[in-house]
Chains A and B, each alone.
Chain A
């Protein structure tokens, strides 16, 4: 069974630009969650999608958005990048919700200069 894949793995952007990250879940998994990991902050929940609907959102500004497609693949977008957005962005898929194991992708390392 193929694992969760994320593209790109590394990204360097300039302040003010926007970025789109992609996540392909494990086949059959309908829930996709996104997390931001920065030193000292741990894993912070961004949002969760299930069947193309956002079911919950973390405490992040509106510059962070996402969507999910009918094949369960998900994208997250960050507009007007700030230096503080430099982080590792992880996505995780699960069968349904947090009553089930989350399977994490390798992450996208975003650096904003």
Chain B
């Protein structure tokens, strides 16, 4: 992978179901992997910054894992709620620790 790629682009999930989505990033010269939640009419909000291979972070019902050797991270949401509806962005520095490159995002919609 030469860029930051996210899949799927959009996802519709029933309230109460669990879901997950993927972020792929260049595994060479890895520095950090970020996850953000971006709700409509708000600013992107940081969920996690992960730096160690095998790292797993959790915030409430949301968790993320990191595999730096193969260049992917998963974001999991357990028991989805309507307030989880947002675009989830991942980002990783490419070409320097100061240049954060974002994926196109996964747009998550929770159906009540």
Q: Which A residues have a C-beta under 8 Å from some C-beta of B?
A: 4, 31, 33, 35, 42-45, 48, 50, 55-56, 58, 90, 92, 97-107
Which residues on the A side are within 8 Å of B49 (C-beta)?
99-101
Candidates A33, A50, A100, A105; contact of B43 at CB < 8 Å? A105
Which residues on the B side are within 8 Å of A100 (C-beta)?
49
A30 CB to nearest chain B CB (Å): 12
Q: When A and B form their complex, what is the total count of cross-chain residue pairs whose Cβ atoms lie within 8 Å?
A: 66
B89 CB to nearest chain A CB (Å): 7
Q: B44 near A98 (CB under 8 angstroms)?
A: no
Number of residues from B at the complex interface, CB < 8 A: 25
Q: Which of B39-72 contact A (CB under 8 A)?
A: 42-46, 49, 51
Q: Which B residues have a C-beta under 8 Å from some C-beta of A?
A: 31-32, 34, 36, 42-46, 49, 51, 89, 91, 93, 95-105
Candidates B45, B91, B98, B103; contact of A31 at CB < 8 Å? B98
- Interface SS of A by simple majority: strand
A48 CB to nearest chain B CB (Å): 4
